[in-house]
Chains A and B, each alone.
Chain A
Amino acid sequence: MNQERISSPEGLALLRQQLQSRRTADKPCITVCSGTGCQAYGCQAVTAAFREELEKRDLSDQVDILTTGCHGFCERGPVVVLQPQGIFYERMKLKDVAEVVEETIAKGEVIDRLLYQDPRTGEKIVHERDVPFYKLQQREILSMNGMIDPTSIEDYIAVDGYSALVKALHEMTPDEIVDAIKQSGLRGRGGAGFPTGRKWEGCRRAEGEIKYVICNADEGDPGAYMDRSVMEGNPHSVIEGMIIAAYAIGGHRRHGLEGYIYVRNEYPLAVKNAGLALETARSYGLLGEDIAGSGFNFDIQIRRGGGAFVCGESSALMQSLQGNVGEPQAKYVRSVEKGLWNQPTTLNNVETLANVPLIIRRGWEWYAGIGTEGSKGTKIFSLVGKINNTGLVEVPMGVTLREIIFDIGGGIPDSKEFKAVQTGGPSGGCLPENMLDLPVDFDELAKVGSMMGSGGMIVMDEGTCMVDIARYFLDFLKEESCGKCVPCREGIARSLEILNRICQGKGRPEDIDLLEELSETVQGFSLCALGQTAPNPVLSTLKYFRHEYEAHIFEERCPAGVCKALIEYWIDPELCTGCGACTRVCPQEAITGEKKTPHTVTRSECIKCGACYDVCRFEAITIRSAGVKAAPAVEAVEAP
C-alpha cells in the first residue's frame, strides 16, 4: 500500500471526508455477515453468488457488496442486510440470490419468505432495526460490526475510527486519559471486573525500562465468543484502544513501550484480521513511529496461544509470552509494577479495549450514564444453549436475566421449560428460574454464587441434567488445571470422580458433604482464579438443584434423562410406525421388528448411543429411567 501517512488531526479529518464523499448514502449495498458463524453456514458462497449475479445483470457498478464481521444474530445465518433500506433477510441460500437481485435490488420488492418472523406474534419483520433481537439491545460496540469490512481500515476511518486516538494524542495528556477512564467507571470485561482506570494509573506510576500493553484475546470459556467477534469484526477498535492505553501508561516518558495481542489459536479468522489491521494501521502512520504526527511511538505484535485455557489468566499468559509453560504465578507484586519480563505491564481484555475509543470520543460522562451504580457501560453476552435466538447480545449493565433470555433471546425452543442459566463459564454458576429477575452486573451475579465472567450465558432447559453439567465443567477444568497447586489438581480430579460415580448411579449418601468439603479446600488454597472458582459449578448446582443430586444418589434416577447408566431407550408402540429408520442406524442391531409394525429395543444389546432417538421422526423413541417398565418415569426428554 502506498497511501499518505496521517500526520495530523487535520490529515485524518480530511481523509475521512474524502472517504465519506466517495460513498453515496442511497447507493444500494448488499451486506453479508461473514463472521465465523455465518461462514460455517456457507456465507462465502452466497457472497460469490451475489457478485456473479450482479455481474450477469451488469449491476456491479451500481450495487456494492460489503462483507462484514459478526452481526450477532447467529441463529439466523447466513444473514444479509440490504442497504439503504435496512431490509433483513435470514438464512439466505444460494438459490435465493438471483431472486433477491431481481426482486429486491432491481424492483424494490420485499421477498416475504426470507423475512424474519417473530415467533410470538407471527408477524413478519422487514427491517433489521425492528427485529426484537436487535431492537431491545444497546449495541454500542457490536453495531459497528455490521457497518464495516473488517479488512478495510478505510471503512473504520469513515465511521469515525481513530478519531479517539487522534484526540487522545493531540488534545489530552496521559493523566487526563487515565482520569477519564477512571471516571467512566469502566471495569475489565475479562471476568474479574477490576477498574480499568485504576489499573492504568498503577502502571503509569510504576518505574521500568520498558512497559508492556497486552490485549488478552485468549477467550477460552466454552460457550463464549464475543471477543472473537469483536477481534474478527472490528479489529481496529481494539488496536485503537491499545494505543490509547499505551499512551496513557507510557506517554511523555523516556522508557520504551511494546504491545502484544495474545490470541487464541482456535480463532484463525481473528488472527488473520488482526494481523491485517496492524499492517494497514502502520502504513497509515496510525501505529509504529510518530503516530499521527504526535511524536508518540508504539507498536503491536500478535502471539498465538497454544490451546491452554489457563493462559487466559494474566500471569500464566505472561509466562506463555516469555516462552514458558503457562503456569500462573503468585502476585505478591502486581503485574502493573512487575509483569511481563518483570516490567510494568497493563493487560486488558478485548472488549475492555474496544470500549476505550468510545469513552474518549463521546466523553466519560456519557459512558458513566449507562449501567448500574457499580457496573457501567454495556456488556456483550453470548447467549447460547437451549435458546431460540442464539447469538451475541449487547445490553446496558443492569438488565435482568429474564429480559435477556426471554425478550431478546426469544425463550426456550420446542416449548420446553426453562431450568437454569449458566453464567461465567467454568468459573461461574448455574442460576434457577427464581433468579431470573436479577439485574445482571458484576456485583449482583457474584452475590448469588455465580459471576459475570467474560459474558458466556448458557441456557438450559428441562432436558439438561444439572449433575451432568457440574461433571462436565469439572471434566473441562481437570484437563485445563496446570497442575501447579495440589488442591486444584487433586481436588478437581477427586470431585470429578465423585460426580462420575453419582452420574453412574453409584453415588454414596455422604458424597454431597464430601463434595462441599473438597470444594472449600480447592477454593481456599489455589493460587489462581482457575482453582479458586473451579468449585462454583458444583456449589451452585448443589445450592439450587440439590434435589437432582439426591435423585441420582438415593433413587438411582436421572430426572432429566441424560445420565447414560440411569436411562434406557424405549419405543412407544402407539407412536412407532415401523418405518425402520432406527434399525438402519443402530450400530448394535439392537432394534428389531417387522416393517410397518412397532419395533422393540433389545435391552441387553443396547449401548444407549442415542442414534435411534436422533433419527426417529415420530417421537416414538423415549428416554426413561432404567428398570421402570411403565410409561416414562422421567420428567423430561432431551431434545435432539
Chain B
Amino acid sequence: MLETATLEQILERHERDPANIIAILQDIQTEVNWLPEEDLRYVCAELEIPPSKMMALATFYRAFSLKPRGKHIVQACLGTACHVRGAVRILGAIERDLGIEGGQTDEDLQWTLETVGCLGACALGPIVVVDGEYHGQMTSAKATRVLQRIKKAEGNGSGA
C-alpha cells in the first residue's frame, strides 16, 4: 500500500472531490503501477464512495489494473491500420517470446503485455511500444530482437 501521506496528497490535489475519482485512480496507478486493494479501500472511506462503485470504475476503464504489472510494459497496437499490416502475427511472436498472452503479467513481475486499440502512429504500423519507446514497422523477428535486447541488458533476466 502507498504511504498514507502520499494518498492524502493525491486526494488533496483533486480537492477530495468524488467527481475526480478517475484522476485520483490515475495518480495512484502512476505511483505504484497498479491499484492495490488497500489503497482503494482507503479512498472509498475518505470520499464516501461505496466499494461496489469503486470496483465498477476500476474494472470498466481499461487504463486501470487491479493486479500488479511487470517492470517492463509492452504494448502491441491492434489498431485497424496495424491490423491490416499484420499486427496479429507480431502479437503472436511477442506472446511466444514472453510466455504470456495479451493482458497478462508474468509470474516474476518482469513483463506485462498489453494490447491497445490505436496509438495513432499509423504510418509506423505495425507498432510495438516497449517501456514508452516506439518501435515501428515491426516484423515478428524484429519484435523478438527488441525483447531479447532488453533481457540481455539485464543480464539473462528471464522474461517467461
Quick one: closest A residue to B122, CB to CB? A384
Question: Within the complex, what minimum Cβ distance (angstroms) separates A473 from chain B?
Answer: 8
- Most chain A C-beta atoms within 10 Å of own C-beta, residue among B62, B93, B118, B140: B118
Q: A204-234: contact bitstring with B at CB < 8 Å (1 yes, 0 no)?
A: 0000000000000001111111001000000
Interface centre among A40, A267, A458, A480 (most CB of B within 10 A): A40
B19 neighbours in A (Cβ, 8 Å): 321-323
Interface presence of B79 (CB below 8 A):
yes
The interface residues of chain B lying within 8 Å CB-to-CB of A326 are 60-61
Q: Are B26 and A265 in contact (CB under 8 A)?
A: yes
Please name all residues of chain A whose beta carbon is closer than 8 Å to the beta carbon of B144 when the two chains form the complex.
585
Docked complex: B117-158 residues within 8 A CB-CB of A: 117-125, 127, 134, 136, 139-141, 144
Contact B120 A609 (CB under 8 A): no
> Within the complex, which residue of B18, B93, B119, B140 is in contact with A323, where a contact is CB–CB below 8 Å?
B18
Q: How far is the CA of A191 from the CA of B5 in the complex (A)?
A: 44
CB distance from B109 to the nearest CB of A (A): 22
Say whether B118 contacts A36, CB under 8 Å: no
| Chain B residue at minimum C-beta to C-beta distance from A483 | B60
Task: Please tell me if the beta carbons of A225 and B141 are within 8 angstroms of each other in the complex.
Answer: no
- From B77, which residue of chain A is reached at the shortest CB distance? A222
With a CB–CB cut-off of 8 A, which chain A residues contact B63?
Answer: 265, 305-307
Cβ-defined contact, B26 with A306, below 8 A: yes
Establish whether residues A325 and B118, one from each chain, have CB atoms under 8 Å apart when the complex forms: no
B123 A614 Cβ-Cβ under 8 A? no
Specify which chain A residues have a CB less than 8 angstroms from the CB of B79 in the assembled complex: 222-223
What CA separation (Å) do A482 and B56 show in the bound complex? Answer: 11
B residues near A521, Cβ cutoff 8 Å:
none
Query: How far is B127's CA from A74's CA once the two chains are assembled, in angstroms?
Result: 14
**Which residues of A are found within 8 Å of B72, using beta-carbon distances?**
none
Q: Are A223 and B56 in contact (CB under 8 A)?
A: no
Q: Considering only CB atoms and an 8 Å cut-off, how many residues of chain B contact the other chain?
A: 46
In the complex formed, the residue of B with least CB distance to A35 is B121
B23 lies within 8 A of chain A by Cβ: yes
Residues 14-32 of B contacting A (Cβ, < 8 Å) = 17-23, 25-26
Q: Which residues of B contact A322 (CB under 8 A)?
A: 19
Which A103-125 residues sit within 8 Å CB-CB of chain B? none
Is A222's CB under 8 angstroms from B96's CB?
no
Chain A: interface residue total (CB-CB under 8 A): 61
Distance from B132 Cβ to chain A, minimum over Cβ atoms (Å): 9
From A40, A265, A386, A639, give the contact of B134 (CB < 8 A). A40
Please judge, given known A-B contacts A39-B134, A40-B121, A386-B85, whether A308 and B140 are in contact too, CB under 8 Å: no
Q: Which of B93, B125, B134 contacts A384 (CB 8 A)?
A: B125
- B6 interface residue per 8 A CB criterion: no
Residue A494 at the B interface, CB < 8 A?
no
Residues of B within 8 A of A303 (CB): 22-23
* Contact assessment for A223 and B60 in the assembled complex, using a CB-CB cutoff below 8 Å: no
Point out which of B22, B56, B122 has the most chain A C-beta atoms below 10 A from its C-beta. B122
CB-contact partner of B141 in A321, A325, A482, A615, under 8 A = A615
User: Which chain B residues lie closer than 8 Å to A304 at the CB level?
Assistant: 22-23, 26
**Given known A306-B26, A320-B22, A325-B56, contact A223–B122 (CB-CB < 8 A):** yes
User: How far does the Cβ of B88 sit from chain A's closest Cβ, in whole Å?
Assistant: 9
Q: Is A371 an interface residue (CB 8 A)?
A: no
Q: Say which residue of B25, B123, B140 sits within 8 Å of A611 (CB atoms).
A: B140
Kindly state whether residue B64 has any CB partner on chain A within 8 Å.
yes
Q: Which of A384, A614, A638 contacts B140 (CB 8 A)?
A: A614
Distance, CA A223 to CA B139, complexed state (A): 19
Looking at B89, B125, B127, the one whose CB has the most chain A CB atoms below 10 A away is B89
**CB–CB B123/A224 < 8 A:** no
CA separation between A385 and B139, bound complex, in Å? 16
Asked if A75 is an interface residue, CB under 8 A from chain B, the answer is yes
Q: B18 — which chain A residues lie within 8 A by C-beta? A: 323
Using an 8 Å CB-CB cutoff, how does the interface string of A13-50 with B read, 1 for contact, 0 for none? 00000000000000000000000110111000000000
**Cβ contact within 8 Å between B118 and A225:** yes
Interface flag for A309 (CB, 8 Å): yes
CA distance A614 to B137 in the complex (A): 12
- The smallest beta-carbon distance between B116 and chain A, in angstroms, is 7
Apart from A304-B26, A325-B56, A384-B122, 8 more pairs, CB < 8 Å: A74-B124, A223-B122, A322-B19, A325-B60, A385-B80, A385-B85, A425-B80, A609-B92
9 contacts between A and B (CB under 8 A): A37-B121, A40-B134, A74-B122, A74-B124, A221-B118, A222-B79, A304-B23, A306-B62, A323-B22
* Nearest 4 interchain pairs by C-beta: A306-B61, A225-B120, A40-B134, A74-B123
